[in-house]
Amino acid sequence: MIATVDVHALPPARREVLAAERDLSAAVSGRFSTRSLDRLSYARDLWPLALVWIREGRIPPPPDAIVWPGADDEVAALIMRAREHRLPVIPFGAGSGVCGGTVAVRGGLALDLKRFDRIGPVDPRARTVEVGAGVLGETLERRLEARGWTLGHFPSSIATSTVGGWLAARSAGQCSSRYGKIEDMVLSVRGVFGTGERFTTPERPFAGPDLAQLLLGSEGTLCAFTSAVLRVHPRPEARFLRAFDFPSVEVGLEAIRRLFREGLRPAVVRLYDPFDTAFVGRSNDAAGSPTPPSRRDALGASVVPAFLRTLAAQTLGRPRLVNPLAHLARRARLVLMFEGEAKACEADDAAAAASCRLFRGTDLGESPARHWYQNRYAVNFKLPRLMEAGTFVDTFECSAPWDRVLDVYERVRAAASAHALVLCHFSHAYADGCSLYFSFVGAASDAQATEARYQRLWRNALGAALSAGANVSHHHGIGLLKAREYQDSLGEGRHVLAALKRHLDPDGIMNPGKLGL
Question: Is the distance from CB of 435 to CB of 369 less than 8 angstroms?
Answer: no
Element containing residue 440 per DSSP (H, E) = strand 433-443
Beta strands in 204-291 (DSSP E): 223-231, 233-234, 238-246, 268-272
Which segment (90-98, 137-145, 447-455, 466-474) binds its own copies by CB under 8 A?
466-474
State which of residues 436, 462, 504, 509 lies at the interface with its own copies (CB under 8 A). Answer: 504
d(CA 234, CA 151): 9
User: Residue 220 CB, nearest distance to its own copies (Å)?
Assistant: 12
d(CA 15, CA 366): 60
Please report, as residue ranges, which positions from 179 to 208 form the binding site for its own copies (by CB under 8 A): 181, 183, 187, 193, 197-208
Please report, as residue ranges, which positions from 329 to 358 form the binding site for its own copies (by CB under 8 A): 340-341, 344
User: Residue 28 CB, nearest distance to its own copies (Å)?
Assistant: 21
Please report, as residue ranges, which positions from 33 to 52 form the binding site for its own copies (by CB under 8 A): none
d(CA 45, CA 245): 36
User: Residue 455 CB, nearest distance to its own copies (Å)?
Assistant: 20
Measuring CA to CA, how many Å separate 100 from each of 120, 151, 219, 407, 514? 31, 27, 11, 28, 8
In the complex with its own copies, which residue's Cβ is closer, 170 or 270? 170
Q: Is 22 exposed, middle or buried (0-12, 13-18, 19+ CB in 10 A)?
A: exposed
Please report, as residue ranges, which positions from 483 to 502 form the binding site for its own copies (by CB under 8 A): 486, 489-493, 495-497, 499-500, 502
471 binds its own copies (CB under 8 A): yes
Which segment (154-162, 279-287, 419-427, 476-484) binds its own copies by CB under 8 A?
476-484
In the complex with its own copies, which residue's Cβ is closer, 385 or 503? 503
Please report, as residue ranges, which positions from 96 to 155 form the binding site for its own copies (by CB under 8 A): 123, 125-128
157 binds its own copies (CB under 8 A): no
Please report, as residue ranges, which positions from 261 to 280 form the binding site for its own copies (by CB under 8 A): 262-263
In the complex with its own copies, which residue's Cβ is closer, 118 or 502? 502
User: Residue 233 CB, nearest distance to its own copies (Å)?
Assistant: 9
User: Residue 126 CB, nearest distance to its own copies (Å)?
Assistant: 4
Question: Is the distance from CB of 416 to CB of 322 less than 8 angstroms?
Answer: no
Which segment (154-162, 305-313, 412-420, 478-486) binds its own copies by CB under 8 A?
478-486
With a CB cutoff of 8 Å and minimum separation 6, the contacts of 234 are 148, 149, 150
In the complex with its own copies, which residue's Cβ is closer, 322 or 336? 336
d(CA 484, CA 486): 5
362 bridge partner residues: 245
Chain centroid offset of residue 230 CA: 19
Beta strands in 12-170 (DSSP E): 32-33, 65-67, 89-92, 109-112, 128-132, 149-150
Which segment (213-221, 271-279, 293-301, 304-312) binds its own copies by CB under 8 A?
213-221
Nearest to 503, CA basis, from 86, 194, 212: 194
226 binds its own copies (CB under 8 A): no
Please report, as residue ranges, which positions from 422 to 461 form the binding site for its own copies (by CB under 8 A): 431-433, 435
